[in-house]
Amino acid sequence: MLFVPLRTENSTATWVDRCRVLRVSLVFRMGVRVGHLQVIVSIDSRDGAERIARELVEARLAACFQVLGPMRSIFRWNGEIEAADEWLCLAKTTTERFEELRERLVALHPYDIPEIIATPIVAGHADYLEWISVETTPSVRG
């Protein structure tokens, strides 16, 4: 379940009061609702990105893992401002598979604290969303 804060005119409302369940692009398959996510990950090398991509797609944790870059990142780390070339990766998965995908990314990633940000896909081409669902279903072979 994903929660997102919504703006409210009542400044006395608590954060929980301002949150509502965000229902992301839901596809009904076999009576189960499956939401879709795009997961953003950055990494320090193209080879590392492709190694992780192949493992996640092979394990059916991601239907697709796009590698973009290089790009330049400027960030604060251990109290210092750093700069590095990185590759931006975009993984397509389902909310159902996200936690396992996140755990695998943390285990495979060379960074101490990898960037792993999941964004709900709130709309999209229905056939593409169904493809994500099928390709991230563990029991599918082929």
Q: What's the pLDDT tens digit per position in 77-90?
A: 999 999 999 999 99
Assigned domain for 37 exists: yes
Assigned domain for 56 exists: yes
Assigned domain for 34 exists: yes
Q: Residue type at 9? A: E
pLDDT at position 10 over 70: no
Residue 47: pLDDT band (50, 70, 90) is very high
Task: Give the least confident one: 25-39, 54-68, 112-126.
Answer: 25-39
Task: Give the least confident one: 19-28, 41-50, 106-115.
Answer: 19-28
Please give the average per-residue pLDDT across 111-117, as a whole number. Answer: 97
The closest of 46, 75, 82, 41 to 61, measured between CA atoms, is 41
Assigned domain for 68 exists: yes
pTM of the model: 0.75
Q: How many domains, in total, are found in the chain? A: 1
Angle between helices 46-58 and 95-108 (to 10 degrees): 140
Q: What is the CATH number of the domain that holds 47?
A: 3.30.70.120
Assigned domain for 22 exists: no
